[in-house]
Amino acid sequence: MLNRELSLLKFNERVLAMAEHPDTPLLERLRYVCIVSSNLDEFFEIRISSLKEQLRVAPAQVGDDGLSPAEAFEDVQQAVHELVTRQYGMLNEEILPRLRTKGIALHSATDWDDAQQAWALACFHREVMPLLTPIGLDPAHPFPRVYNKSLNFIVPLSGIDAFGRKASIAIVQAPRALPRLLKMPEAISGYRHGYVLLTALIRAFVGELFPGLEVQGCYQWRVTRNSDLFVDEEEVTNLRHALQGELTQRNFGAAVRLEIDRSTPPALEAFLQREFQLSGADTYRCNGPVNLSRLMQLCSVDDCADLLFPGHQASVPEPFAQVGNKPAELFAAIAASDRLLHHPYQSFQPVIDFLTAAAVDPDVVAIKQTIYRTGEDSELMRLLMAAARAGKEVTVVVELMARFDEQTNINWAARLEEVGAHVVYGVVGHKTHAKMALVLRREKGRIRRYGHLGTGNYHPRTARLYTDFGLLTADPRLCEDMDKVFSQLTGLGARRALKSLLQSPFTLHDGVVSMIRAEAKAARAGKKARIMAKMNSLLEPIVIQELYKASQDGVKIDLIIRGVCALRSGVPGLSENIKVRSIVGRFLEHSRVFYFFDEGKESVYLSSADWMDRNFFRRVELAFPIYDKALKKRVIHEAFLVALRDNQLAWQQRPDGSYAPVRSRAQPVNLHRVLDDALRRTG
């Protein structure tokens, strides 16, 4: 198997390749550089932290990839250093110079003319200096407590201060309230969009903070910390309160990475390394801002549409374009047949309309919903609150342990409770990652269920950026199973048998393994056998071994894995019948789709789950079948057939785990453009 961390870094190399591609619009190239920076932050906060823990507690244990923790850590650090060097090289040598030719400039202090210098000094005194608190290090002023990923400066000094103290080193922390980019007036800048980095202002005028002393330099740095939360789930009596307490400490975990200015003297580098107990391998010299994701602000400048991807308008499919959120018509349309949505090509609005209708329809008596990520400003959550105020039974399963969205979800949980909604936090020890909403409506003296099942979060913003499928249905087989799952999440009792849905941690893993084995059995009998699967990550060892066995039995297997893939494809005698490709483009591939030929019946499942240990065994996940033949055909075409013809965005995995771009002399096929054009035409 391939190493998880190295595979994740390979994905970020593919993202950075989008920034390097000359056909990518210029500001979008900058955006991809920033995305890699943000991804690396989380990589260190979670994955490197995990590797360091393995080094501490099990240094001799060899993983499924054949590497010891020390070997894996060395390989990973080398790969990150190479990626970061490539990232800053692309920014400084390509993107920023070309942006200047388009009227967007970052003004370095070394290039300021007199007018720019005067503006910068005034701006420093007015906007920045009042918020700075320099700390001179001495016995009375120990090294300050440093917030995770905060911007800091180390300043070597000489001289004697007013109290007769000998100056040596000071630390200046940039408050989070200060903007990292400041707009310079066009008349002074000479560019339509001229900006100055906060780091440039502080470095240029840091001497103003130390009157009478000699400033010998000013060097930016930041430290990244372990941000994984630990909540003792066996001891916890109130998960929300326990998590709230843990969140306050997240930003002061153990240090895992030090980023410093490339010109930082070795003595100061060693000083910071000692302070945070980090080594040279943990230290990254940056040829630019230590947090490139701050440059994402430039991607939103006015009047630069020509430097961005063309505007995208998702279509609203029939019948939703006609019925909108008219309750009776909308529910009748869903009752007539299942309705498939493919975001972002098709709008998320029908899902909002579905919940709006449920909130206002007097015949709706109850709404049940899972929430994993929904954002700080969520129309969907406001609809649930309105439904609760209207007297409907509203039950919301809020996952408090959604990484980096914990505080947002805690806030929504409190607001929902205030208006009378029933709020539960799922099952302690098993994150609720399933995406489902269930509406109970009184029709002709009986209760009828309507449901929405999806592969992505109930988050309207990401629904414009991530590719996901959603199914609106009144099929009793699906809706009754959904109701059983909600009962499991809110109450207590034995496991409930589901007719249609596969559910983690109970039946999903066994179901997937069983379907893989069935294809292998068919192949051994000389019958047609085929597996296609699309997901974000493939790591679970048993599933990988079963795929290897199926390949050896002659099953043709196509895997579309956006990110981490521990399976090696195309290895003679092991996986020569398996092909792995990754699609990286304008939209983030996020849907999970599983296809099995199933002796001609063609079983197709949409799911919230990747094929990872955590999704199979430590989460509540769902995989739901597509019964409607026309919709099944759509899913096969949109999830697989076009993607397997893509020769613009696709990367093919090699047996050693590296990836090569898919190119051919055939007609260009760009998955995102093809689906956007097709679904815009059909609605």
| Residue 568, marked binder | no
Q: Taking a C-beta distance cutoff of 8 angstroms, is the pair 76, 564 a contact?
A: no
**Strands, DSSP E only, in 39-134?**
104-106
Name the strand (E) or helix (H) holding 450: strand 446-454
Strand, coil or helix: what is 440?
strand
Total length of the chain? 683
Percentage helix, strand, coil, to 5, in the chain?
Answer: 40, 25, 35
- Please state, in angstroms and rounded to a whole number, the distance separating the CA atoms of residues 607 and 533: 11
Both tokens of 642, joined, read 């076009």
346 contacts: CB under 8 Å, gap ≥ 6: 314, 315, 316, 317, 679, 683
Strand, coil or helix: what is 546?
helix
- Please state, in angstroms and rounded to a whole number, the distance separating the CA atoms of residues 11 and 14: 5
| Residue 240, marked binder | no
| Residue 466, marked binder | yes
- Please state, in angstroms and rounded to a whole number, the distance separating the CA atoms of residues 510 and 500: 14
Nearest Cα to Cα of residue 43 among 10, 1, 67, 69: 10
- Please state, in angstroms and rounded to a whole number, the distance separating the CA atoms of residues 509 and 613: 9
Q: Is 433 a catalytic residue?
A: yes
- Please state, in angstroms and rounded to a whole number, the distance separating the CA atoms of residues 342 and 467: 7
Both tokens of 447, joined, read 């209760």
Which residues are paired to 366 by β-bridges? 393, 440
Question: Is residue 665 left, alpha or beta, with left meaning phi > 0 and alpha meaning psi from -120 to 50?
Answer: alpha
Rounded to 5 degrees, what are φ and ψ at 219?
A: -130, 125
Name the strand (E) or helix (H) holding 34: helix 26-42
CB 156: neighbour CB atoms within 10 A? 18
| Residue 562, marked binder | yes
- Please state, in angstroms and rounded to a whole number, the distance separating the CA atoms of residues 596 and 109: 60
- Please state, in angstroms and rounded to a whole number, the distance separating the CA atoms of residues 678 and 681: 5
Which residues are paired to 367 by β-bridges? 394, 439
Q: Which of 343, 430, 433, 672 is catalytic?
A: 433
- Please state, in angstroms and rounded to a whole number, the distance separating the CA atoms of residues 104 and 108: 13
**Strands, DSSP E only, in 569-618?**
578-583, 588-589, 592-596, 603-607
Name the strand (E) or helix (H) holding 673: helix 671-682
- Please state, in angstroms and rounded to a whole number, the distance separating the CA atoms of residues 164 and 251: 36
Both tokens of 62, joined, read 């060899």
Strand, coil or helix: what is 134?
coil
| Residue 590, marked binder | yes
- Please state, in angstroms and rounded to a whole number, the distance separating the CA atoms of residues 541 and 57: 22
Using only the alpha carbons of the chain, give its radius of gyration: 27
- Please state, in angstroms and rounded to a whole number, the distance separating the CA atoms of residues 531 and 318: 31
- Please state, in angstroms and rounded to a whole number, the distance separating the CA atoms of residues 627 and 602: 10
- Please state, in angstroms and rounded to a whole number, the distance separating the CA atoms of residues 617 and 427: 13
Residues annotated as binding site for Mg(2+)? 373, 403
Residues annotated as binding site? 39, 373, 403, 466, 562, 590
Residues annotated as binding site for ATP? 39, 466, 562, 590
**Active-site residue list:** 433
